[in-house]
Structure 1
């Protein structure tokens, strides 16, 4: 695009870059803030989930502890305790625990009463009193196939059933069942029915921000509290909600132990943070309006946009003010350059103060103005002198060409004589080169023989040295290995000591076995009070038996180790005998051979050195002869070449003199034209 004003051009160039930078800054700030808000929100939600999970888990753990305590008490005393005592215990427990609605003891067929197959009394709260019912102790109800009973009989720990809504009482309930284990056998179970009002109140009191609320579901998706009270009363699952988006969110929550998900309700997007209650597998969720989480980001973006608009406006004002002064200076420079382009060197120089680019450019124009004015003035003065010099140069060039023609004839004769002398010198040099080549070949072979002899001598010396070192090392290795072998044999005595200790341990284990047997007999005599001691005595007897088995294995291992030591000792002695009787003498003979090999290499080296000295002398003499012939040939060739170059230079110089004559004529024309051009510049008033 072409602009008439530099201010407009600068605005068009700078303003988009500034706006783009502000937009990028706004996006980066919003992105960073969004990440920070997400992180803080995640931390806050996780803390809220963990805090409420801890409270709910505490309630459920208390119920499990209560059920376990009843089961242990019944298991220890059911053979001699009457139902009236258990009934009083259950009534007291129900009266002192607000969340407990009822409790029952459910025995296996004929386990408590040999005459009754179904024995399952149930004590429950009725207003301010407690009531015992036997309505469930019959084949029609068949509590053996009820969920709470099958859960307890299939597990060794307390289990809490999924909650359910009781229409008659209008409360959400759940049952905790734990097996009654006596003598390692399950004889029935204990159930404790609890109301979940306290837990649902905790969920109902969850309030995060303005829109954050709590939701609690069972592991199978049954809605326990939050979201929709009517669905809670109807005992519906979250999968039955009318909102498909909420159903999809709930399915995601039920599949994963914890995380973040969301759903849409109308035009509102909700973000859901969830976790799992370990005791029951129930899902605790916090749902919050997504707009509430993003509201700080939107507010930040609005403020950043406002700041960007203000910054752009200020930048436009600053650019306009700054460019106005620059435009005035540029106009003055433009006027000065236009007058110089017209050839007017009588104008005044620019006067611009400062150290910026325009001031530097103005100073450069002033300097150019002064230099060009001086150059043009000098050209005008020297134009006349050039014209006179050209005329004198033409006369001198004619006289010089005549003298060069005489020199050409003399140099032609000299060049012919030098070519004949050069041919004879080249023939003699070729013969000398053949003789020198033969001497070089002989010298090269002699030096190769000398190098080979030196290499043989070095190898012989090295072989002798290595052989001697190997001999010494074999001696040292034999002595060291003999000493270590004796030390290892002495250390093998430790294995025998271990065997003795293993025998002592076996005797102790036998005594412990005898003691555990006596303890079991005494515990049996003590009856019920000695049952715990009998278990400990039995375990000690098992441990003593295991110790005896381990000792036998240790003794078998020690025997194997002793056999391995004996085999190792025999093989090591055989290896030492081989090194002493065979390897050491062979190394000694090899050292003698290496010494004789070194002496032969020394004799060969001396002969090769004498021959090398003689061939070097022959080679030096031939080199001197060849050098002398080369000097003669080079001198002859250089003379011939120089004479030819002189001839070429003379011919070229003759042409140059002719060109000078032509150039002098051209210079006269150029000086006339130059005078006319200089006259177009106005150098003075």
Structure 2
């Protein structure tokens, strides 16, 4: 019976798990390699499929492009020669289209009168419209080629094929469009080639239509590893789609959105434009897009192969199933073989465990067979060890019994000694408690002394602080007195300098004021001149009167001179009055200046001297006060140091007393602890006695 409690079952399970681990590890490595190989092979196959179909599409497009280019060259030559009528050109195009297997339609569109200048002659004729322009479209029918006028050439939008060719002047592949020709509507693309005249001017286009039905058929038939394919343009338009066949003409991001891959559209279009292969993985498939480019033709396509992952990993899944089945069979066989081998190996161990169980039940009388002891492997070592353990245990139990009796006797003696020790300890405890009480009283007294000393110390510190403040104030007063003295000295010097300068300037001003008296003298001279002028004018008037009529003019001059003399006399009189006033004011100023100089010399200088003496005395008093304050400070510091030392001693006494009290209390506590421990030891000894009795009782249960 299989049970995890048995050693054989456990060994079988462990081996099975190891085998399973090895199989899983090897299988994982193989499966990872197979999966990687399958993925790489599928990608390689997808690339080969994409390349093969791309080449087929390129060949078809290239043939269509060459056919259209040939017709474009023919139309250019016809235009240049000017001897090919339109009917003949249309017939040539018709025959060419009938023989061509790549084009489903062919058309030419010329600028107005650009072909032969005869548009007016072809109004509403076959292959022309009401404008008469050469705009003929030929399309293959079921049995013949239909000729009609093209209808959408005059669309002026930038996306119009005619406008694109006219603007770029390069051949290009047209985006897919729906077009009705011959009564049939179908999706087509076209190779559009511009036509130029002999001067290189754009004059029209030639276009070769290619039905997308042939591409759609090719794409539907392409099933890479049961997947599907698609054909898109560099503008993101779907040309053909193998799974969603009605998506032709739609934008790629719309179609991919159906599969939850809309975000991949931009990446695919970018790869087509840059002529690079695009590969990506989605949840259900691997997608490979190969660019398709026709040399000399603008516009690129891309062939996409979508390979489902279930096809990629089909071989991988088959291998996985095989590995699981093989692993299960190998594990089952391994468990059976290991169980049988293990059972044979473990049987002696089970026998040994049975003997161990009997020993565990205190029965050492069981006989251990020689077959187990005489084995040369680990089982034999186990048998010998069991035999030795049996004998050693028996000897040990006998020794235990003997020592247990000895312990019982020793424990009884220890109890008697502990009783005597307990009595002595109780006496010591009482004495220690009395000593502790006395020391505590001493500590309390020391604490009171310490508190009083602290209060005295605080008071002295406050006095010291006040004295220190007074000392600082004395220093400030000394500094201020010295500063005031210096300021007085500087003020005296400045005052003496100002008095000296002022005295000099006043003296100069007094000397200059004497010049005012010269004004008086000058005015008197002018007065004398005025009087003489007046006399001369009078004499002149007399002489003019004597001269009669001839002296009349001179008389007028003499009269004017006399008036001027009179006026000058009046002015000089006013000047003399003003000069007298100025002289009086100057004299007063001189008297005031002399009085001020006398005051400065006699009073101000004396006051400055007194102020200097007061400042000097103030400075000396401040220095004396500072010395006294310093003396107070030093004395206070000494007192404070003495008080602190006293406090320190008192604190030491209090601390020592406290520590002594605590120590004594600790001693008392320790004595009590010792007493308690003695009681505990006594109890333990009692327990030892009881334990020795129990050991003896237990040993008696063993069968030896």
TM value normalised by structure 2: 0.49
In the other structure, the counterpart of 2:246 is 239
Alignment of 1:84-123 (within 5 A): 105-111=108-114, 112-114=116-118, 115-116=120-121, 117=123, 118=132, 120=134
CA contact (8 A) 1:239 1:251 kept: no
Return the offset for 1:381: 1.6
Distance of aligned partners of 1:87 and 1:620 in 2 relative to their CA distance in 1, 3 Å threshold: farther
Deviation, structure 1 residue 312: 1.3
Q: 1:208 to 1:676 in 2, by over 3 A?
A: closer
How far the C-alpha of 1:631 sits from its partner, in A, is 3.1
Q: Does the 8 Å CA contact 1:99/1:196 hold for their aligned counterparts? A: no
1: distance between equivalents of 2:137 and 2:429? 148
Structure 1 SS opposite 2:165: coil
Equivalent-residue separation in structure 1 for 2:380 and 2:154 (angstroms): 97
CA change 1:19–1:334 in 2 (3 A) is same
Using the alignment, how far apart are the partners of 2:307 and 2:382 within structure 1?
A: 66
Report 1:39-58 matches (<5 A): 39-57=40-58
Matches of residues 143-542 of structure 1 in structure 2 within 5 Å? 143-145=150-152, 151-152=161-162, 155-156=165-166, 157-158=170-171, 176-181=191-196, 187-192=203-208, 238-239=245-246, 277=292, 284=303, 293-317=312-336, 319-321=338-340, 323-324=342-343, 327-345=346-364, 376-404=397-425, 406-407=427-428, 410-411=431-432, 413-434=434-455
Counterpart-to-counterpart distance in 1, 2:237 and 2:681: 115
Larger radius of gyration: 2
Seen in structure 2, the aligned counterparts of structure 1 residues 308 and 391 have a Cα distance that, compared at 3 Å, is closer
Instruction: Supply the distance in 1 between the matched residues of 2:403 and 2:228 (Cα, whole angstroms).
Output: 102
Q: Distance in 2 between matches of 1:640 and 1:653?
A: 19
Moved more, 288-297 or 250-259: 250-259
CA shift at 1:294, angstroms?
A: 3.9
Structure-2 change in CA distance of 1:632 and 1:41 (3 Å) = same
Q: Go from structure 1 to structure 2 and tell me whether the alpha carbon gap of 1:208 and 1:659 turns closer, same or farther (over 3 Å shift).
A: closer
Whether the aligned pair in 1 keeps the contact of 2:136 and 2:150 (CA below 8 Å) is no
* 1:677 and 2:698 matched: yes
Q: C-alpha distance in 1, partners of 2:106/2:678? A: 138
Structure 1 residues 188 and 622, CA, compared in 2 at 3 Å: closer, same or farther? same
1:485 alignment partner in structure 2: none
434 and 44 in structure 1: CA distance in 2 versus 1, 3 angstrom threshold = farther
Bigger mean CA offset, 674-683 vs 27-36: 27-36
Cα distance between partner residues in 1 of 2:45 and 2:650: 104
Change (3 A) 1:65 1:415: same
Cα distance change, pair 322–401 in 1 and its aligned pair in 2 (3 A): same
Shift of 1:433: 3.5
Alpha-carbon distance change, 97 to 386 in structure 1, aligned in 2, over 3 angstroms: closer
**Number of residue equivalences:** 485
CA distances 1:73-106 after superposition (whole Å, capped 9, x unpaired)? 8569836632179969996995998857996654
Do 2:229 and 2:306's aligned partners in 1 also have CA atoms closer than 8 Å?
yes
Provide Cα deviations, 1:206-252, integer angstroms capped at 9, x if missing partner. 7967x78988799998879x99xxxxxxxxx94399xxxxxx99987
- Structure 1 residue 444: deviation in Å? 12
Query: Is residue 652 of structure 2 the alignment partner of residue 637 of structure 1?
Result: no
Structure 1 stretch displaced more, 108-117 or 180-189: 180-189
Structure 2 gaps of 5+ residues are 124-131, 249-254, 269-277, 469-630
Answering whether residue 149 of structure 2 is matched by residue 142 of structure 1, we say: yes
Distance 1:335 1:190 in 2: 107
Hey, what does 2:508 align to over in structure 1? none
Q: Aligned partners of 1:166 and 1:85: how far apart in 2? A: 21
> Would the aligned equivalents of 2:173 and 2:300 in 1 still touch at CA under 8 Å?
no
Any unmatched runs of 5+ in structure 1? 228-236, 242-247, 263-268, 448-609
| Deviation per residue, 1:465-493 (Å, 9 max, x gap) | xxxxxxxxxxxxxxxxxxxxxxxxxxxxx
Partner of 1:593: none
Conserved 8 A contact 2:12-2:342:
no
CA change 1:422–1:222 in 2 (3 A) is closer
Q: C-alpha distance in 2, partners of 1:212/1:674?
A: 88
Name which of structure 1's ranges 250-259 and 311-320 shifts more when overlaid on structure 2: 250-259
TM-score (norm. length: structure 1): 0.50
CA contact (8 A) 2:165 2:205 kept: no
- Measured on the aligned residues, the alpha-carbon RMSD in Å equals 6.5
User: 1:282 Cα shift?
Assistant: 6.9
The structure-2 alpha-carbon separation of the partners of 1:81 and 1:362, relative to structure 1 and needing over 3 Å to count, comes to farther
Asked whether the equivalents of residues 221 and 239 of structure 1 are also in contact (C-alpha less than 8 Å), the reply is: no
Instruction: Answer whether contact 2:109 2:134 (CA < 8 A) is retained.
Output: yes
- Do 1:353 and 1:359's aligned partners in 2 also have CA atoms closer than 8 Å? yes
CA shift at 1:435, angstroms? 5.2
- Please tell me whether the aligned partners of residues 193 and 206 of structure 2 are also in contact (alpha carbons under 8 angstroms): yes
2:516 matched residue in structure 1 = none
Contact 1:90 1:103 (8 Å CA) reproduced? no
Query: What's the offset of the Cα at 1:338?
Result: 1.7
Tell me if the contact between 1:49 and 1:285 (Cα under 8 Å) persists in the aligned partners: yes
TM-fit CA distance, 1:675: 2.6
Shift of 1:178: 3.1
Measured after TM superposition, the shift of residue 404 of structure 1 is: 4.7
Moved more, 105-114 or 148-157: 148-157
CA distance in 1, matches of 2:53, 2:467: 102
Q: For the residues of structure 1 that align with 2:418 and 2:313, how far apart are their CA atoms? A: 98
Contact 2:137-2:150 within 8 A present in 1 as well = no
